[in-house]
Amino acid sequence: MRVVQLSDIHFGGEDAAALDAATTYVTADPPDLVMVTGDLTLNGTPREFRSAELWLARLPNPLLVTPGNHDTPYWNLPLRALQPFKRYRRFIGQPSASRYDVAGLHARTINTSRGAQPRFDWSKGAVSLKLASAAAEAITAFPADEIRIIGCHHPLMEITGTPVTGGVHRGQTAAKLFCDRGIDIILTGHVHTPFAVALPFGDGQTYAVGAGTLSVRTRGAPPGFNVLEISPGCVEVTALGWIGAALEIHRVWRLPRRSAPEGAAPEPKLSRAEVVVQNEGPSAAAGPS
């Protein structure tokens, strides 16, 4: 099975060439699931949300989307505090938990974004443990050898080497909950840098996987997105990066699965030839700003 994770597009500050290449990649060979882990917009304006709505309509189904902190009306303080997801609902849909289930693959989203919080940096994440527990309970009702994925915007725990923090209230508790329940992958965005690490709870085979950004707001990595190839032995995570004329492999992680058959060895699923996507449109020569 194959899952594509897109994140932090930031319409209003998107990298048009990188976004076009990512969209071409996803639509040319639709995966088993597309998950968008937040920050569709830059400032949460109606114009940005309209662009996001039109873009999402181009993506193949099944498609799960969860909001990010930038998907609130960033500069409209009363609206952000009182109705932070009013525009998101109007253009995108419900910000609450969404789900997808098919034989072999089960996914849930939870909203870690808030419009206001009783702390100075309201843009940091927060988890409802009630909703996290409900998502974990629902997803772990399926067989353990079927892949179980949770998607949210903020990394639940701080990842060494990332340029910004998630600062998630109750994040570590939620991470431990997901590990104890046997969740396989937690997909997040927010930090604009791809990563894949094992969480330090349970059997060590619940992995936090973060995608980069498709905006001009890069932080030490090219604009890009993640492709997850799921096999019985492992989940191979390939971070694809836009280098100005093509998508190329930026990094690859092979994450052993707890349900791997005895003797199964992680095997590469993607070659460079399979992932290079040339942009032959008007913006072919354009790179990150």
Annotated domain spans of the chain: 2-224+234-275
Q: What is the pLDDT of residue 260?
A: 64
- Letter for the amino acid at 77? L
- pLDDT tens by residue, the chain, 289 residues: 999 999 999 999 999 999 999 999 999 999 999 999 999 999 999 999 999 999 999 999 999 999 999 999 999 999 999 999 999 999 999 998 899 999 999 999 999 999 999 999 999 999 999 999 999 999 999 999 999 999 999 999 999 888 888 899 999 999 999 999 999 999 999 999 999 999 999 999 999 999 999 999 999 999 999 999 999 999 999 999 999 889 999 999 999 999 766 655 554 444 433 444 443 332 222 222 2
Q: What is the pLDDT of residue 261?
A: 61
Nearest to 123 by CA among 153, 159, 160, 151: 153
Q: What is the pLDDT of residue 286?
A: 26
Q: What is the pLDDT of residue 215?
A: 98
Q: What is the pLDDT of residue 27?
A: 98
Cα separation values, 252 from 14, 75, 123, 240, 269, Å: 24, 38, 30, 9, 10
Superfamily of domain 2-224+234-275: Metallo-dependent phosphatases (3.60.21.10)
Cα separation values, 228 from 113, 159, 211, 220, 238, Å: 24, 19, 11, 22, 6
pTM for the full predicted model: 0.90
Burial pattern 173-202, b for ≥16 Cβ within 10 A else e, equals ebbbbbbebbbbbbbbbbbbbbbbbebeeb
Q: What is the pLDDT of residue 280?
A: 34
